């Protein structure tokens, strides 16, 4: 692994891109201070420049060097970093992070991942990594190395880090004096935040904020059409099921969690979408998912994936 980290470091320092694992999904990363590297990310993913990238850091000290952090930010950091929390922070004027990754505004999504490989890479370099998910724009996020497209792998140094342990992207939050505003649902649930900070007001955004990544109307989409919250499965449709019910497919089916566990379901969602997308069927039917906890995040992804 030491050799892999050295090659990743060299690739990034030369202004080129890497694909690396995180605890949420695989990321496509480049030097966040290098405008050419950032342009390569947008071009390779065919991602609109108005859709900001997340900056990944080795530790909180590195974040503090570049961004202003308030009291509520610090509370969230102590509770959830390293981990699947992205904080929208105001960049300091002294920061070298290039504004092209944040749609030319000084508000940037920042996080410290917990994945060991990601942290080893971040500790080996002296700049943060700008990294969206390693998938083509609007397509399914990658939680396993075999999910990655050949086009991405042929244009980036790629690291196989096994399966993502969470399976859903980070929760994106912006804080104010006495309020937490959730801009994108993710692996940290609203309920978890409420329990951790019962005295702080939590506002739920309409999930189309331009300062948060991953808020396109159509996103996380397979090539096949999706129907969600189904009560019956049509002929020649594949099925993504949840829990115990009478739904059946005559083609193929996967159950996100036979026991109705939303944590297990969140780990399986993108993998099952990738698997079914290769099936010889007319479309994908998805069983109803409870709209609480991680179910809210799963439903958010499925709604975006079902947009035609």
| pLDDT value at residue 40 | 98
| pLDDT value at residue 130 | 98
pLDDT over 90 percentage in the chain: 91
Domain membership of residue 25 (yes or no) is yes
| pLDDT value at residue 210 | 81
Same domain for 286 and 236: yes
Same domain for 164 and 271: no
User: In the predicted model, is pLDDT for residue 308 greater than 90?
Assistant: no
| pLDDT value at residue 307 | 86
For residue 45, what are the CA distances in angstroms to 38, 134, 300? 11, 8, 22
Same domain for 237 and 99: no
pLDDT over 70 percentage in the chain: 100
Give, for 120, the enclosing helix (H) or strand (E). Answer: helix 116-124
| pLDDT value at residue 218 | 74
Same domain for 140 and 94: yes
Same domain for 160 and 230: no
User: In the predicted model, is pLDDT for residue 262 greater than 80?
Assistant: yes
Of 141, 170, 204, which marks where a domain is finished?
Answer: 204
Task: Name the burial class of residue 245, with classes exposed (0-12), middle (13-18) and buried (19+) by CB atoms within 10 angstroms of its CB.
Answer: exposed
Same domain for 263 and 116: no
- Of 287, 282, 153, 142, nearest to 223 by C-alpha is 282
Confidence of residue 206 (pLDDT cuts 50, 70, 90): confident
| pLDDT value at residue 163 | 97
Domain membership of residue 102 (yes or no) is yes
Same domain for 122 and 16: yes
Domain membership of residue 213 (yes or no) is no
Same domain for 154 and 233: no
User: In the predicted model, is pLDDT for residue 299 greater than 90?
Assistant: yes
Q: What pLDDT digit, counting tens, does each position of 97-133 carry? A: 999 999 999 999 999 999 999 999 999 999 999 999 9
- Mean predicted lDDT score pLDDT of the chain: 96
Domain membership of residue 212 (yes or no) is no
Same domain for 192 and 233: no
Q: What pLDDT digit, counting tens, does each position of 155-202 carry? A: 999 999 999 999 999 999 999 988 999 999 999 999 999 999 999 999
Least confident of 10-14, 68-72, 203-207, 236-240: 203-207
| pLDDT value at residue 214 | 78
Give the CATH number of the domain where residue 162 resides.
3.90.870.10
Alpha carbon 8 to its chain's center? 21
Same domain for 105 and 46: yes
Q: Is 94 left (phi over 0), alpha (psi -120 to 50) or beta?
A: alpha
| pLDDT value at residue 217 | 73
Mean pLDDT of 148-153: 96
Instruction: Please give the Cα distance from 128 to 266 (Å, whole number).
Output: 28
Q: Which two tokens stand for residue 219?
A: 């996103």
Domain membership of residue 215 (yes or no) is no
Beta strands in 113-199 (DSSP E): 129-130, 157-158, 171-176, 179-184
Give the global pTM.
0.95
Of 145, 170, 204, which marks where a domain is finished?
Answer: 204
Give the CATH number of the domain where residue 294 resides.
3.40.50.11030
> How many folded domains does the chain comprise?
2
Look up the domain containing 139 and give its range.
Answer: 2-204
Domain membership of residue 218 (yes or no) is no
Domain membership of residue 221 (yes or no) is no
Instruction: Please give the Cα distance from 141 to 168 (Å, whole number).
Output: 9
Confidence of residue 229 (pLDDT cuts 50, 70, 90): very high
Q: What pLDDT digit, counting tens, does each position of 49-103 carry? A: 999 999 999 999 999 999 999 999 999 999 999 999 999 999 999 999 999 999 9
């Amino acid at each position: 692994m030491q050799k892999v980290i050295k090659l990743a470091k060299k690739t990034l320092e030369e202004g080129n891109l890497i694909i690396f694992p995180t605890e949420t999904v695989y990321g496509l990363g480049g030097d966040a201070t290098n405008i050419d590297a950032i342009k390569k990310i947008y071009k390779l993913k065919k991602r609109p420049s108005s859709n900001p990238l997340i900056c990944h850091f080795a530790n909180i000290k590195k974040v503090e060097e570049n961004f202003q952090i308030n009291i509520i930010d610090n509370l969230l950091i102590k509770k959830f970093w390293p981990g699947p929390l992205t904080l929208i922070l105001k960049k300091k004027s002294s920061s070298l992070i290039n504004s092209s990754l944040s749609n030319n505004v000084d508000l940037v999504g920042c996080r410290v991942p917990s994945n060991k490989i990601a942290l080893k890479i971040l500790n080996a370099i002296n700049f943060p990594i700008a990294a969206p998910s390693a998938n083509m724009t609007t397509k399914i996020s990658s939680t396993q190395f075999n999910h990655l497209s050949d086009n991405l792998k042929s244009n980036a140094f790629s690291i196989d880090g096994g399966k993502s342990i969470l399976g859903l992207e980070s929760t994106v939050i912006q804080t104010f004096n006495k309020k937490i505003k959730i801009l994108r649902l993710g692996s940290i649930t609203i309920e978890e935040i409420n329990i951790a900070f019962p005295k702080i007001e939590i506002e739920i955004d309409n999930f189309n904020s331009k300062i948060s990544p991953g808020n396109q109307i159509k996103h996380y989409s397979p090539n096949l059409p999706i129907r969600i919250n189904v009560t019956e499965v049509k002929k020649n449709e594949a099925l993504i099921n949840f829990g115990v019910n009478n739904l059946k497919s005559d083609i193929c089916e996967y159950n996100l969690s036979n026991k109705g566990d939303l944590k297990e379901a969140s780990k399986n969602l993108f993998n099952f979408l990738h698997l079914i997308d290769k099936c010889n069927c007319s479309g994908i039917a998805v069983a109803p998912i409870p709209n609480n906890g991680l179910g809210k995040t799963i439903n958010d992804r499925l709604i975006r994936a079902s947009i035609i």
